[in-house]
Amino acid sequence: MSTKLARPHVIVVAKRSQLARLHEGLLDARAQRLIRTGHEAVKKWIPAHDEHERTLETVMQKLERLGANVLLLRGASAAFDPAGTELIVTVGGDGTLLAASHSIADLPVLGVNSAPRYSVGFFCAAKPRTVGRMLARALEGNLPHMELARMQVTVGGQVRAKRVLNEALFCHKQPAATSSYVLKVGRKREEQKSSGLWIGPAAGSTAALLSAGAKVLPLTSTDLQYIVREPYIGDGRLYRLVYGKLTSRQELVLVSKMDQGAVYLDGPYRVLPVKLGEDVRFSLSDEPLRVLGLSERARFAGRKPPKR
């Protein structure tokens, strides 16, 4: 049974394109020179920006016609308060939805891939040609949704994050430095040196984790999985704990043997420092993310694991 929202309050979180950042003075003069000369490093910025802005305009117009009260937030990295809101709409790609998701507890979110030719929209069910129809269904309350498991991260005994959707990377804060730590899973314990360790829930299993050699998990899974990046084999000894899955009742513990450790959450912008001797614990969060429009078939369409 559908439940139509009366005068719904909607927050639209739109990414700030590279071209917009340039116009706002957030990039240096070199980028401007490259734009003027049509350099290959930036040649997609203008068409990607134009397509994104057209889609954003369509989203705003559709919501206005549907009678919604809309708050537009430009830039996805800043935290926001969704209190009093019935629906979150992200306009950009997966990065926009991931960034916004850290401010979302139990509200539904509809991702709109604003420029499909230029951005990845794995979690974004709506496209420019379908966004009107999907917004209407979302506000009517009859758009199917899927609850995606998220991960909790505790550092030094304090919960520092409960909304990690894709993955966390534990490593030395300098990427060229060796990461040194103790890894504990249940009763198993191992001292390791490596380039770091990826860990994340099912939603992130086709991203960095898969590239590093992990497995694709069903989208509805509540398992976490971890994989060690480039384990040190200089002494000829092979580690036992290089890959594994954790059930919803298990946790993985890392004890830092570095004085400059770090945990990166869902990309490079959310960073938790980890001191020498501190432990970092990863477990299933009690705050899944409700994403509208996703289906199991769509989740794996065109995303088969590469042969190894």
pLDDT truncated to tens, each residue of the chain (308 aa)?
455 556 799 999 999 999 998 888 888 889 989 999 999 999 999 999 999 999 999 999 999 999 999 999 998 788 999 999 999 999 999 999 999 999 999 999 999 999 999 999 999 999 999 999 999 999 999 999 999 999 999 999 999 999 999 999 999 999 999 999 999 999 999 999 999 999 999 999 999 999 999 999 999 999 999 999 999 988 778 999 999 999 999 999 999 999 999 999 999 989 999 999 999 999 999 999 999 998 744 444 434 444 44
pLDDT of res. 3? 52
Find the DSSP H helices in 73-181: 94-101, 131-140
Predicted local confidence at residue 1, as pLDDT: 45
What CATH number has the domain spanning 9-143?
3.40.50.10330
Per-residue pLDDT reduced to its tens digit, 232-281 = 988 778 999 999 999 999 999 999 999 999 999 999 989 999 999 999 99
Q: Tell me which residue has tokens 């709109």.
A: 112
- Specify the pLDDT at position 67: 95
pLDDT of residue 308: 43
Residue 235: the pLDDT is 78
Determine the pLDDT at residue 98.
Answer: 95
Q: Where are the domains of the chain?
A: 9-143, 151-284
CATH dotted code for 151-284:
2.60.200.30
